[in-house]
């Protein structure tokens, strides 16, 4: 039996399955990790070697036994300085010994004495060095390497002049992009104000955000980084650490419940971050963590109007665009907590209470989770059970509402199989529509577009409330606390109960002239007050002050 490493502070060099050396460590999480392949570490090193580095200085973040270092140097003969940043001194020495070229300067950064990180060597400039990461090392000790990912990224740059866009000219705004909800709309909003937007495309790169972020920060020197729901930020907080050290503010806009988004995430330092919240109900919890939090409801992207034209295939007396939630989402939540007869019975009763508590559902959820505590083994189970209850209630609420409208000619757009499962095979349910190209035409082609707000939103209104009138569509929506903060009473048609929704639908279907007048007034309000350009202007104003918000502003 192999010995157990006593304290996780050292590495053991041992033989692999084919006799090649590997390194065994106990990582920060207490798990045993091997830093190299047990079968062929030389072949594995090919994957970790950097084929093309543009600079003469290479920083190896994590080295292990350094198999990939000679390969990297062979691919890049112009390198004349190497910095090895390795958690374990014994491995750092072995890795440095693989560099046989005497003309190459070698610096070693290693150890962790008395809770202090060793310093980087003098003379490094983050903009003029190549960084080579060793994924197994970073996986074993993510916290230790996170510190150096930040310090390497800002080396020699912290004392350089800060960006000057905030002093009056248009800003450079860096937006990490994953084709996620509201990201494109926010980009359009910043550009409508005359600001320069740098889109950092991170699609398909989850877990690999740090390197492209580092490059973008050094090359573009943005005045502001803007993220929707923390998308594009790494889970360890490395990117946020870079921003704080470089003095670049971070604006976070939550357009979903932060309870679920923050699960397992390292939050940015409050001093360098301004949080915007789409629903007032969540502000106290986030503010209690020390963050500046500003209420910022959703808005309309004016570019949608170009696609808002009548299309015969989308004609319907009443339309609903949305998901049933039963086609997979609820099932994915249900495997995260004990699926017992007790939890099932509890959820069934809780759904009715949540629907009945509209506007106070977050308070009720706290009470429900306290009641269900004996059924749930840990915080993770409680978090997912909370989400399951909330979205189950939304699904039940939508199903009852929309079921009452089927006799009036309701057509579903999106999730046809899910809707048929809950409401029967005889309904008219069409496939998903593209949000930017087809949804505006659906809104323009229906007599009534019905809206059923998710119960994760106790106060605010959803995207449909702004988009439908912008696209010349008539909206019948449920009553939310924020609705008449944003619209006049003659600009919206509002129902309070399922029965009232059906009654009002009949009323408005018979009155096309009245529908047209309400649409005209609502669209005017949206264009005057509720565009993404105006919302992004608020982001800039709250972050930098009025001068920056007005800079480059276009009518």
Q: Do domains 12-153 and 165-299 have the same CATH topology?
A: yes
Per-residue pLDDT band at 113 (split at 50, 70, 90): confident
361-372 helix and 379-405 helix, angle to the nearest 10 degrees: 130
* CATH class of the region 165-299: alpha beta
Measured between alpha carbons, how far is 142 from 148 in angstroms, rounded to an integer? 10
Domain assignments of the chain as residue spans, ordered by start: 12-153, 165-299, 302-530
Q: How confident is the model at residue 192 (pLDDT cuts 50, 70, 90)?
A: very high
Q: What is the pLDDT of residue 119?
A: 93
Average pLDDT over residues 101-129: 90
Res 548: pLDDT: 58
The structure's pTM equals 0.87
The answer on pLDDT for 8 being more than 70 is no
Inform me whether the pLDDT recorded for 161 exceeds 80: no
Measured CA distances, 413 to 191, 416, 449, 481 (Å): 31, 7, 11, 27
**The pLDDT of residue 10 is above 90:** no
Instruction: Give me the pLDDT at residue 555, please.
Output: 40
Task: Identify which has the larger pLDDT, 265 or 523.
Answer: 523
Query: Is pLDDT at 168 greater than 70 in this prediction?
Result: no
Q: Looking at the structure, give the CATH architecture of the domain made up of residues 12-153.
A: 3-Layer(aba) Sandwich (3.40)
Q: What is the pLDDT of residue 551?
A: 55
126-154 residue pLDDT tens? 989 999 999 999 999 998 999 999 999 98
Q: What gap in Å lies between CA 77 and CA 475, rounded to an integer?
A: 65
pLDDT bucket at 554, cuts 50 / 70 / 90 = low
Q: Is the pLDDT of residue 98 over 70?
A: yes
pLDDT for res 85: 97
For the record, the structure tokens of 460 come out as 């605010």
pLDDT-derived band at 330 (thresholds 50, 70, 90) equals: confident
> CA dihedral defined by 106, 111, 115, 121, rounded to 10 degrees?
0
| 302-530 carries CATH number 3.40.50.2000 | yes
Angle between helices 361-372 and 341-356 (to 10 degrees): 160
Give the mean model confidence (pLDDT) for residues 199-210.
Answer: 90
Taking all residues of the chain, what is their mean pLDDT, rounded to a whole number?
Answer: 92
């Amino acid at each position: 039996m192999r010995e157990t490493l006593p304290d996780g502070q050292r590495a053991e060099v041992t033989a692999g399955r084919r006799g090649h050396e590997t390194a065994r460590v106990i990582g920060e999480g207490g798990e045993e990790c091997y830093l190299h392949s047990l079968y062929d570490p030389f072949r594995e090193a090919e994957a970790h070697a950097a084929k093309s580095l543009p600079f003469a200085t290479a920083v190896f973040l994590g080295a292990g036994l350094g198999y990939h270092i000679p390969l990297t140097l062979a691919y890049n003969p112009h390198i004349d300085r190497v910095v090895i940043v390795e958690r374990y001194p014994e491995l750092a020495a072995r890795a440095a010994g693989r560099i046989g070229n005497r003309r190459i300067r070698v610096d070693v950064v290693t150890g962790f004495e008395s809770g202090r990180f060793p310093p980087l060597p003098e003379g490094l400039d983050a903009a003029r060095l190549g960084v080579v990461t060793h994924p197994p090392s970073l996986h074993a000790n993510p916290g230790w390497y996170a510190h150096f990912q930040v310090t390497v990224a800002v080396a020699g740059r912290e004392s350089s002049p800060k960006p000057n866009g905030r002093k009056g000219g248009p800003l450079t705004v860096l937006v990490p992009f994953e084709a996620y909800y509201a990201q494109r709309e926010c980009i359009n909003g910043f550009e409508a104000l005359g600001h320069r937007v740098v889109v950092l495309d991170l699609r398909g790169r989850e877990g690999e955000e740090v390197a492209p972020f580092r490059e973008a920060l050094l090359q573009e020197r943005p005045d502001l980084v803007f993220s929707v729901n923390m998308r594009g930020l790494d889970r360890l907080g490395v990117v946020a650490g870079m921003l704080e050290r470089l003095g670049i503010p971070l604006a976070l806009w939550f357009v979903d419940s932060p309870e679920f988004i923050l699960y397992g995430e390292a939050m940015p330092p409050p001093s360098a971050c301004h949080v915007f919240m789409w629903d007032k109900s969540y502000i106290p919890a986030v503010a209690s963590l020390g963050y500046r939090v500003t209420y910022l409801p959703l808005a309309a992207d004016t570019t949608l109007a170009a696609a808002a034209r009548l299309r015969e295939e989308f004609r319907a007396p009443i339309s609903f665009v949305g998901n049933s939630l039963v086609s997979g989402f609820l099932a994915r939540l249900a495997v995260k907590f004990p699926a017992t007869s007790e939890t099932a019975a509890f959820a069934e009763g809780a759904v009715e209470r949540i629907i009945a508590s509209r506007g106070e559902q977050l308070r009720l959820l706290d009470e429900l989770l306290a009641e269900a505590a004996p059924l749930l083994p840990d915080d993770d189970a409680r978090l997912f059970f909370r989400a399951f209850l909330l979205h189950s209630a939304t699904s039940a609420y939508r199903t009852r509402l929309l079921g009452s409208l089927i006799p009036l000619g309701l057509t579903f757009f999106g999730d046809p199989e899910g809707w048929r499962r809950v409401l029967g095979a005889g309904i008219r349910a069409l496939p998903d529509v593209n949000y930017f190209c087809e949804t505006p035409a659906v809104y323009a082609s229906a007599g009534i577009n019905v809206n059923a707000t998710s119960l994760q939103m106790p106060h605010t209104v959803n995207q449909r409330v702004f988009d439908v009138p912008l696209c010349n569509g008539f909206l019948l929506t449920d009553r939310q606390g924020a609705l008449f903060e944003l619209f006049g009473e003659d600009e919206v048609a509002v129902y309070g109960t399922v029965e009232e929704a059906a009654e009002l639908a009949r009323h408005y279907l018979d009155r096309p002239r009245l529908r047209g007048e309400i649409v005209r007034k609502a669209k005017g309000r949206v264009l005057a007050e509720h565009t993404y350009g105006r919302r992004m202007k608020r982001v800039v104003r709250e972050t930098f002050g009025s001068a920056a918000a007005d800079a480059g502003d276009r009518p």
